[in-house]
Amino acid sequence: MQNRKLGTGNLEVSALGLGCMGMSFGYGPAADKQEMISLIRKAVERGITFFDTAEVYGPFTNEELVGEALSPFRMQVVIATKFGFKLDPNGGPQWTGLDSRPEHIRQVAEASLKRLKTDVIDLFYQHRVDPEIPIEDVAGTVKELILEGKVKHFGMSEASANTIRLANAVCPVTAVQSEYSLWWREPENEVLPALEELGIGFVPFSPLGRGFLTGKINENTTFDKTDFRNTVPRFAPENRKANQAVVELLKQIAERKNATPAQIALAWLLARKPWIVPIPGTTKPNRLEENIAAVSIELTSDELHEIETEASKIKVQGARYSESTAKMAGR
């Protein structure tokens, strides 16, 4: 496994990370805990050193899973978690709003440290920008946590270029996480140029389009009733049918490279910039192996040009979030 540096923040991680959310939350019922511990440890054995979780995944259960799975390897790995949601005080499964008040950030940090069985959080992301709290206050609070030795690096998720600049002026931002893949390329407009200028790493989540770019989903696929893709306009059956054009493009390249569509989707991201580290998630050992193998696939300049040319002809159908969720992205 190759390593990459996330910007100039001196945080070195495997070229591919592992997004752990789907093991506990979001894509149907939680997977078997022991099987997921085994999967996470398999990832470590295969050279993955970068693991992504958040208090809201579950809530809380995903951090507990990641903490238990990685405790024997704690010094070898980088754990990223997140703050910024207001959770149901009665223990319900849904967040009830945003909360990046300084006192709340501190509360989340202390609780996350316990669940992750660690004395320091390697990368602490603001999960979504809270319009009620000045970003300078958020960055200042994380800066204090870094000075106290409880956090090593500050990250942001789904933030606008302007907000990233304001935060970075107070506390250096090591990495920004946003959705990015061949079927969601908005970060290219303003965020990626800002990150390159500021020396900040980029961590694409949903690099396989929430499973769609694997080629295993079509208009007839049904999701579990608790799978959040049921609420995503892009996953409406008619949009899934229209969006197969993106998968067909990946398949064409994959056949020539003796690879899978998922591997080409990941190889394309890795070829974009040397400071981009995708975090595909999976609950299946064979998919883990498939994703890891993408790191060794090199796309030629001609192939990258072909992907660019053909992708530009495809208009992806459907919004990536429901209207209520979309309001929180890119602030």
Task: Enumerate the active-site residues.
Answer: 57
What is the C-alpha separation between 24 and 29, in angstroms, rounded? 7
Host H or E run for residue 95: strand 95-98
With tokens 């060794």, the residue in question is 296
Nearest-5° Cα angle at 45, 81 to 116: 25
What is the C-alpha separation between 224 and 239, in angstroms, rounded? 18
Q: Supply 275's token pair.
A: 């400071």
Pair 68, 37: CB distance under 8 Å? yes
Can you say whether the dihedral through the CA atoms of 283, 287, 291, 296 is positive or negative?
positive
Q: Give Cα separations from 108 to 38, 49, 153, 304 (angstroms).
A: 27, 23, 15, 42
